Amino acid sequence: MTVVTTQPEPSVPSADQVPGQVSAETGEFWVEPAESADEAPADAAETTDKAEGTGGTGEGENEGENEGKDATEEDTPGDVHADVAQDAREFGAYVRAGGWAFALKVARSVRPGGELPGETAKVSAKGFAELAGCSPERVMRYYKAWDKAADDGLVPYFEALAPGQEVVLPDSDVWHAYYVSRSGAGSERGAAISAAAEAEGIRPTKALEVAENPTALRAAILADPSTAQAARAALLDRLQEDPALQTELARDIARTDGLKKAVATETQAAGRIGYVRQIVENGQVKTPAGQTIDAPAELRAEAERHLSLIDELDAGEDTSEWASEAYDSVKDIVAQTVQADPELRLQERRTKFYSSLTKATKVFEELTFDDVDDLDTIYEDDMLQRLEELQEAITTCITALRKAAPGE
Domain boundaries defined on the chain: 3-55+80-179, 213-254, 257-344, 368-404
- The β-bridge partners of 110 are 123
Radius of gyration of the chain (CA): 39
DSSP strands (E only) in 209-345: 284-286, 292-294
**Mean pLDDT for all residues in the chain:** 76
* Helices 204-211 and 188-200, axial angle in degrees (round to 10): 130
pLDDT in tens, 332-362: 988 888 888 888 888 888 888 888 888 888 8
Determine the distance from the C-alpha atom of residue 133 to the mean position of all C-alpha atoms in its chain, rounded to a whole number. Answer: 38
pLDDT at 217: 86
Is it the case that residue 147 has pLDDT exceeding 70? yes
Task: Report how far apart, in Å, the C-alpha atoms of 199 and of each of 192, 235, 243 are.
Answer: 11, 17, 23
Does residue 207 have a pLDDT over 70? yes
Amino acid 213: pLDDT: 81
Least confident stretch, 46-50, 307-311, 343-347: 46-50
16, pLDDT greater than 50: no
**pLDDT tens sequence across 261-296:** 888 888 999 999 998 998 988 888 888 888 888 888
> How many angstroms separate the CA atoms of 150 and 144, rounded?
10
User: Which one has a higher pLDDT value, 198 or 72?
Assistant: 198
Residue 185 pLDDT grade (very low, low, confident, very high; cuts 50, 70, 90): low
Q: pLDDT confidence of 77, banded at 50, 70, 90?
A: low
Q: List residues bridging with 292 in a β-sheet.
A: 286
Angle, vertex CA 112, rays to CA 108 and CA 117, nearest 5? 95
Q: Give residue 317's pLDDT.
A: 78
Instruction: Report how far residue 189's alpha carbon sits from residue 172's, in angstroms, rounded to the nearest whole number.
Output: 27
- The predicted model gives 12-23 an average pLDDT of 38
- Structure letter (DSSP) for residue 123: B
Residue 59 vs residue 215, higher pLDDT: 215
Confidence band, pLDDT 50/70/90 cuts, at residue 73: very low
pLDDT band at 396 (very low <50, low <70, confident <90, very high): very high
Instruction: Name the pTM for this structure.
Output: 0.41
Q: How confident is the model at residue 371 (pLDDT cuts 50, 70, 90)?
A: low
Region 74-95: what's the mean pLDDT? Answer: 72
| pLDDT of residue 82 exceeding 80 | yes
pLDDT > 80? residue 304: yes
Pair 136, 126: CB distance under 8 Å: yes
Answer yes or no: are the C-beta atoms of 292 and 286 closer than 8 Å: yes
CB atoms within 10 A of CB 398: 10
Q: Is the pLDDT of residue 330 over 60?
A: yes
Whether residue 187 has pLDDT greater than 80: no
Read off the pLDDT band of 151 (50, 70, 90). very high
When pLDDT is cut at 50, 70 and 90, the band that residue 141 belongs to is confident
Q: By C-alpha distance, which of 198, 178, 24 is closest to 99?
A: 178
d(CA 88, CA 44): 11
Where is average pLDDT lowest: 31-40, 122-131, 306-315? 31-40
